[in-house]
Amino acid sequence: MTYIPNPARYKNMPYRRCGKSGLMLPAVSLGLWHNFGAIDSPENARTILKLAFDSGITHFDLANNYGPPAGSAEETFGEIFKDDFKSYRDELIISTKAGWGMWEGPYGDWGSKKYLVASLDQSLKRMGLDYVDIFYHHRPDPETPLEETMGALDLIVRQGKALYVGISSYSASETEAAIAILKQLGTPCLIHQPKYSMFDRWVEGGLLDVLGDKGVGCIPFSPLAQGLLTNKYLKGIPESSRAASHRGNGAIEEDAITDDKIAKVIKLNEIAVNRGQNLAQMALSWILKDDRITSVLIGVSKPEQVTDSIKCLENLSFSSDEINAINGILG
């Protein structure tokens, strides 16, 4: 059956300008880090992607190593894109990344021009795309000169393989240097994708200031600390949870769920309930309250989690008492 998207899909999703660019992103974007690999249900993945687009989520975020196994999330997405989304390519923002280990030998990791160009060629083939909208360097490379890595991003745009480029997990100083090089090359840095949640606030130590000052967008990943900032672990570790699945590929493990974290989650949950939200919704709202944030990436395993996450948009404002209480809990 031919997929026909919801005709009202753009009515309720707000779109935010990405830095000083012409690009708008949905306030909530969908990440395919987990639950879209070869070990996962392709039909569940298809249902999630359709529901996301029906809800106004136009941005799907991938990387070469998403799966498991690495590369399989792009393959899954490619099959679904071919069947259901090809007619809507111009309504979609599709991103991918390279920077972690992908193949044997010295050319399949980090940030060389050789690796980045080859990796994107592979990603485009897996997804069946002529270009991606955003291509990221996934992590800093301490050995390769930054000029070479940024030069590769510039080259990729000039080749027509990506419309925009970004960086991920760079420190504030590394980000400032990367932005300067890309500006000189004539291919601006569009966006930064950092790990950011109530439990991981490192970006507040300078990175957000750099992005705000330079007019670069920001799209945090793991805003729910991979499920820890939800109601899922309030009474232990469910057998069906990500922490119990031992998926690897950066997924949360059981030892990350400590008594101290759960005690904080319980207190945060009380504030969320008083706001008329569940904890996951409040955790997303808490990130989106900052106008330097362009969009927030959600990762879901069930379609209903898409709908639930989007409800965060119904209340993005926090009182000073709520902010103080949350900061007091987080320490």
Q: What is the pLDDT of residue 236?
A: 64
Q: Are 64 and 98 in contact (CB under 8 A)?
A: yes
At residue 241 the predicted structure's pLDDT band, cuts being 50, 70 and 90, is: low
Strands 15-17 and 24-26: antiparallel
Q: Are 33 and 221 in contact (CB under 8 A)?
A: yes
Cross-strand partners of 94: 60
Cross-strand partners of 165: 135, 189
Q: What is the pLDDT of residue 141?
A: 98
Dihedral sign (CA 293, 166, 28, 328) = negative
Taking residues 210-216, what's their average pLDDT? 98
CA atoms of 119 and 135, how far apart (whole Å): 11
Q: What is the pLDDT of residue 248?
A: 54
Q: What mean pLDDT, rounded, does the chain reach?
A: 95
Position 31 pLDDT exceeds 50: yes
At residue 212 the predicted structure's pLDDT band, cuts being 50, 70 and 90, is: very high
At residue 244 the predicted structure's pLDDT band, cuts being 50, 70 and 90, is: very low
Query: What does the block give as tokens for 72?
Result: 């399989």
Query: What does the block give as tokens for 90?
Result: 């111009």
Q: What is the pLDDT of residue 238?
A: 58
39 CB neighbour count, 10 Å cutoff: 13
pLDDT digits (tens, 9 = 90+) for 256-292: 778 889 999 999 999 999 999 999 999 999 999 999 9
pLDDT digits (tens, 9 = 90+) for 32-80: 999 999 999 999 999 999 999 999 999 999 999 999 999 999 999 999 9
pLDDT digits (tens, 9 = 90+) for 189-201: 999 999 999 999 9
Q: Are 80 and 49 in contact (CB under 8 A)?
A: yes
Taking residues 307-318, what's their average pLDDT? 98
At residue 252 the predicted structure's pLDDT band, cuts being 50, 70 and 90, is: low
Taking residues 94-116, what's their average pLDDT? 98
pLDDT digits (tens, 9 = 90+) for 156-203: 999 999 999 999 999 999 999 999 999 999 999 999 999 999 999 999
% of the chain exceeding 90 in pLDDT: 89
Q: Are 97 and 89 in contact (CB under 8 A)?
A: no
What global pTM score does this model have? 0.94
